[in-house]
């Protein structure tokens, strides 16, 4: 997206995080799918924070780090919590072909509960932190500098996406 001055701008602005209690109704601050432009790619040290709520009847949601938009686009990371299968899948899409799936240990997401995910670009790959716990490390198959778009979608109520 371009600003009024013709300069690239983010598709989304970070939303504040409000403390929540277990009885708080779910917030729905964003519609999904939600896309955020990353015109300079991702470099080591980049942190992407995704906060939201898993609805009661959620099946799956995803976070994709895409190298471009449209058909034939590649995904450096496909992070896919599958509550309907009690697993989280990590994968990449190169030249139209999915790679070998990696699965995290257990499912750290619960229906009706808020979540906080950090995807951290390290020297070797993307480190996924869910809540306060390191969950999985996905080694790079596509250089992170090629990533141009972060996309979040599926069965979730998205509250915020921030990049540090």
In sequence order, which residues have a C-beta less than 8 Å from that of residue 19 and are 6 or more positions away?
none
Q: What is the architecture of the domain spanning 34-163?
A: Sandwich (2.60)
DSSP of 126-153: EEEEETTEEEEEEE-SS-GGG--EEEEE
Residue extents of the structural domains in the chain: 34-163
pLDDT bracket for residue 9 (50, 70, 90): very low
Confidence of residue 71 (pLDDT cuts 50, 70, 90): confident
- Positions of E strands within 32-107: 34-37, 47-53, 61-66, 75-82, 87-94, 97-98, 102-103
pLDDT (tens digit, 9 = 90+) per residue, 116-149? 999 999 999 999 999 999 999 999 999 999 999 9
* pLDDT, averaged across the chain: 86
pLDDT at 17 over 70: no
4 contact partners, CB below 8 Å, separation of at least 6: none
């Amino acid at each position: 997206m371009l600003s009024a001055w013709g300069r690239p701008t983010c598709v989304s602005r970070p939303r504040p995080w409000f403390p929540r209690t277990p009885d708080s109704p779910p917030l729905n601050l964003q519609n999904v799918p939600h896309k955020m432009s990353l015109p300079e790619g991702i470099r080591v040290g980049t942190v992407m924070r995704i906060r939201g709520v898993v609805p009661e009847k959620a099946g799956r949601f995803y976070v994709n780090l895409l190298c471009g938009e449209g058909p034939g686009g590649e995904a450096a990371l496909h992070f896919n919590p599958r509550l309907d299968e009690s697993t989280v899948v990590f994968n990449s899409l190169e030249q139209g072909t999915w790679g070998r799936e990696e699965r995290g240990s257990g499912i750290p997401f619960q229906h009706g509960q808020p979540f906080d995910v950090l995807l951290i670009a390290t020297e070797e790959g993307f480190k996924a932190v869910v809540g306060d716990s390191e969950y999985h490390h996905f080694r790079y198959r596509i250089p992170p500098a090629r990533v141009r778009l972060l996309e979040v979608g599926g069965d979730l109520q998205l509250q915020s996406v921030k990049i540090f």
